[in-house]
Amino acid sequence: MEERRRALLALILVGAAPTLSTLLSYGVGDGTISQAIFILTKLWLLLFPLFWLLKVDSGTLSWSKPEQGGYAMAVGLGIAMSILMLLAWLLLGDAIDANLLRNALEPVGLLDPKVYLIATIYWILINSILEEYVFRWFLVTKSETLVGTGNPAIILSALIFVVHHTVALAIFGFPWWANLISSIALFVGGAVFSWLYVRYRSVWIPYIAHAICDIVVFGVGAIIIF
């Protein structure tokens, strides 16, 4: 029971951070403060799981080497999800308020094409790895302790993964029905990423699928914004 309580506390302290960061970053309306909140949140998401692993769980560091394969599965699922996202955008893209999206991104400098490109590279090469480290390794393993292995942990971690995305889409001006569809798709994507982690026990396998999807997301975002 004590172990489950610790797992719940870890899920709350880590799982709630991205949502709070999103609300605060876009709520203050100031570029410098927004960027500071963003950086502090990323440091929290990077360092807190390490602290928990070493000090609470008395674990050891690992590079999460993919020793069970899974590369082809990751690429195939990443491409399949990307195709579905493109189809959804082609069908529903007109519902997105481009001006509202630009207004939401302007305080953090993402209307500058160079900044947008740098942010895209950062998100694909660094942030997606951080998300797999947080949402797949840390939150999946804590979900397994709290609700059990397999589907229960996959579902719980995917639900936590989707919350801050739903909040961000609302801020970016997605109508409720488009946000709902996108959130369902994000939940499915998060569940796929979590399944890949559970199946292959390496953050690098879901990262491959995640990075492929992010390329499409930022590509579509550039078309809408610019």
pTM, full prediction: 0.89
- Which residue do the tokens 């996108």 mark? 182
> Confidence class of residue 27 from pLDDT cuts 50, 70 and 90?
low
Amino acid at the residue 226:
F
155 in a structural domain: yes
pLDDT of 200 above 70: yes
111 in a structural domain: yes
pLDDT of 43 above 90: yes
Query: What's the rounded Cα separation, in Å, for the pair 7 and 105?
Result: 35
184 in a structural domain: yes
What range does the domain containing 77 cover?
70-225
| pLDDT tens column, 82-102 | 999 899 888 877 777 778 778
Q: What is the mean pLDDT of residues 140-154?
A: 95
188-to-52, 85, 182 alpha-carbon distances in Å: 28, 12, 10
6 in a structural domain: no
How many structural domains is the chain composed of? 1
123 in a structural domain: yes
209 in a structural domain: yes
61 in a structural domain: no
